[in-house]
């Protein structure tokens, strides 16, 4: 998409899970954070899909870019690479 990897989640900030309560709590916290991140990606992709062609043009994207993005699996997150 025009070399704009991760544009869907440009405002997402990654925070490291602290392991002060042991590895089990840390593991569950990371699992929950990952699940929430996947939900956020799905929401953002749905929002992009609902935007008008004029709004997409304003942000420099085409309908083809959006179709490519919404067809990606929910776990594909360029920001986390």
Per residue in 43-75, pLDDT (tens digit) is 999 999 999 999 999 999 999 999 998 888 878
The pTM of the whole model exceeds 0.85: no
Per residue in 4-47, pLDDT (tens digit) is 455 444 444 444 444 455 677 799 999 999 999 999 999 999 99
Can you spell out the DSSP letters for 3-65?
Answer: T-TTGGGTT----PPP-TT-HHHHHHHHHHHHHHHHHHHHHHHHHHHHS-HHHHHHTT--HHH
**Cα–Cα distance list, 39 to 4, 9, 21, 27, 54 (Å):** 21, 12, 26, 19, 26
| Residue ranges covered by each domain of the chain | 45-76
């Amino acid at each position: 998409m025009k070399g704009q990897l991760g544009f869907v989640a440009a405002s997402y900030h990654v925070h490291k899970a602290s392991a002060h309560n042991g590895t089990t709590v840390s593991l569950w916290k990371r699992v929950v954070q990952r699940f929430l991140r996947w939900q956020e990606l799905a929401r953002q992709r749905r929002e992009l899909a609902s935007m008008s062609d004029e709004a997409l043009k304003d942000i420099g994207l085409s309908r083809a870019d959006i179709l490519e993005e919404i067809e990606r699996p929910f776990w594909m997150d360029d920001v986390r690479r």
